């Protein structure tokens, strides 16, 4: 193999850190979380412990703090250059990744640890589930079974929200999605008011593929100041998805008000078969066609092992 070929194999726009090296980078945080905090942060069938937070998320928060301080320094220098006093705008973080990979937990943990930063910033969290079209519209368009695909989102509404945030508007009303009812709640909203940091979490946040019939020139990720992709081997994600489905079947699906109550009486084997079928018909094509191709658009990639804990971190070179 020639030296040029070797260089191509070794070249990457990312720096790689294994867990041991990454955890040694934290020199900023000295906080502790109790068991109640951890219980509120992790999702169904998704382990989370103090070590994961301290060894992965504390260094991550430290790194993001560096980006925030540089972001503020650029704004101050720009104000001086333009001789204007542009007010501080929220620092926006995007978090993407597959269904069942643990994006929501990553977002909640990051929201918590970023609030520990020295200046105690106000950290708000928005999920793109709230920007899904209501089931009524999805049904009318014949795409209810494609919920989570790009065409199932009201991208214009999401872009309008992010535009308003980056325009300096301080108060925002965001729609709320119910996983129990599997639909947007028409009478419920989330108030986002004057955040210092805004986390936007969803499978679609790094996608740039336009919806059919549209020619988008602005994308959700254009508004991000930092982006994260939560990654894992597909076989592990499938196992986590099936395990989560079974746990929900035995708990949340038992609620008569649950959209998925129809699965409540499945046997264990039937539950596994149904979860695998849903994954194969819906989540797998969405992952391969729309989500996975966005991985290398992220500034940072968290790579999980089969135990759901992060084993490796990739950080885009600057």
pLDDT along the chain (318 residues), means of 10: 49 94 81 70 75 93 96 95 92 97 95 92 97 97 95 96 96 95 95 97 86 69 97 97 93 93 94 96 96 97 96 96
Per-residue pLDDT tens digits for 150-178: 999 999 999 999 999 999 999 999 999 99
- Lookup: tokens for 133: 């079209």
Sequence length of the chain is 318
- Let me know: does 152 contact 133? Beta carbons within 8 Å: yes
202 is in an annotated binding site: no
Q: How many domains does the chain have?
A: 1
Q: Would residue 298 count as lying in a domain?
A: yes
Burial class (CB in 10 A: 0-12, 13-18, 19+), 229: buried
Does the annotation flag 208 for ligand binding?
Answer: no
Residue 174 lies in a domain: yes
284 labeled binding residue? no
Contact 61, 228 (CB under 8 A): no
101 is in an annotated binding site: yes
Has 112 been labeled as part of a binding site? no
**CATH number assigned to the domain comprising residue 73:** 3.40.50.300
Does 5 map to a domain? no
Q: Is 174 annotated as a binding residue?
A: no
Furthest C-alpha separation in the chain: 68
| 109 annotated binding-site participant | no
3 within a domain of the structure (yes/no): no
pTM of the model: 0.92
Nearest-CA neighbor of 33 among 109, 106, 136? 109
CA separation for the pair 253, 267 (Å, rounded): 13
167 is in an annotated binding site: no
Q: Which domain holds residue 250?
A: 12-316
In a domain, 302, yes or no: yes
pLDDT digits (tens, 9 = 90+) for 51-91: 899 999 999 999 999 999 999 999 999 999 999 988 899 99
Asked if the structure places residue 7 within a domain, the reply is no
Domain assignment of residue 173, yes or no: yes
């Amino acid at each position: 193999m020639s030296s040029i070929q070797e260089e191509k194999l070794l070249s990457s726009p990312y720096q790689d850190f294994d867990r041991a090296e990454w955890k040694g980078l934290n020199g900023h945080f000295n906080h502790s979380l109790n068991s109640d905090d951890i219980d509120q942060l992790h999702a169904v069938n998704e382990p989370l412990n103090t070590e994961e937070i301290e060894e992965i998320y504390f260094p991550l928060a430290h790194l993001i703090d560096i980006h925030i301080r540089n972001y503020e320094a650029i704004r101050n220098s720009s104000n001086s250059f333009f001789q204007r006093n542009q007010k501080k705008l929220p620092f926006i973080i995007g978090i993407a990744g597959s269904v069942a990979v643990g994006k929501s937990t990553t977002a909640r943990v990051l929201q918590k640890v970023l609030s520990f930063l020295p200046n105690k910033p106000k950290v708000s969290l928005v999920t793109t589930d709230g920007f899904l079209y209501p089931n009524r519209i999805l049904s009318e368009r014949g795409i209810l079974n494609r919920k989570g695909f790009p065409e199932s989102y009201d991208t214009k509404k999401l872009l309008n929200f992010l535009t308003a945030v980056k325009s300096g508007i301080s108060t925002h009303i965001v729609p709320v999605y119910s996983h129990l009812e599997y639909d947007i709640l028409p009478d419920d909203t989330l108030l986002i008011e004057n955040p210092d940091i805004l986390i936007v979490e969803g499978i679609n946040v790094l996608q740039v593929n336009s919806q059919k019939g549209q020619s988008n020139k602005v994308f959700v990720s254009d508004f991000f100041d930092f982006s994260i992709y939560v990654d894992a081997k597909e076989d592990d994600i499938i196992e986590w998805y099936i395990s989560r489905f079974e746990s929900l079947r035995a708990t949340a699906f038992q609620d008569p008000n649950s959209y998925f109550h129809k699965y409540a009486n499945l046997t264990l084997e039937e539950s596994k078969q149904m979860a695998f079928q849903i994954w194969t018909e819906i989540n797998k094509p969405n992952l391969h066609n729309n989500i996975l191709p966005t991985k290398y658009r992220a500034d940072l990639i968290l790579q999980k092992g089969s135990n759901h804990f992060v084993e490796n971190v990739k950080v885009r070179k600057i």
